[in-house]
Amino acid sequence: MVQYKPALDQSFAALSDPTRRGILERLGSGDASITDLAQRFEMTLTG
């Protein structure tokens, strides 16, 4: 029987989101401020 690890499941679940993948792709090519990322992905900075 295959046993799954919760941390690995959470990682793949996070990567299933296209915005999160886009952020990782953007950060892979260099530093970016949170403001730059928020503008590119049409996010707000409110908490």
Q: What are the Cα distances from residue 43, in Å, to 13, 23, 38?
A: 20, 12, 5
Domain that holds residue 31: 6-41
pLDDT at 42: 86
Percent helix, strand, coil in the chain, to 5, is: 60, 0, 40
Determine the average pLDDT of the residues in 24-38: 94
Does this model's pTM top 0.95? My answer is: no
Long-range contacts of 12-15 (CB under 8 A, 24+ apart): none
For residue 12, being part of any structural domain is answered with yes
With a cut of 70, say whether residue 47 has pLDDT above it.
no
Q: Is residue 28 part of a domain?
A: yes
Number of Cα atoms under 13 Å in the Cβ half of residue 9: 4
Helix axes 18-28, 6-15, angle to 10 degrees: 90
Structural domain total, the chain? 1
Q: Decide if 46 is inside a domain.
A: no
Q: Is 47 inside any structural domain?
A: no
- Determine, yes or no, domain membership for 1: no
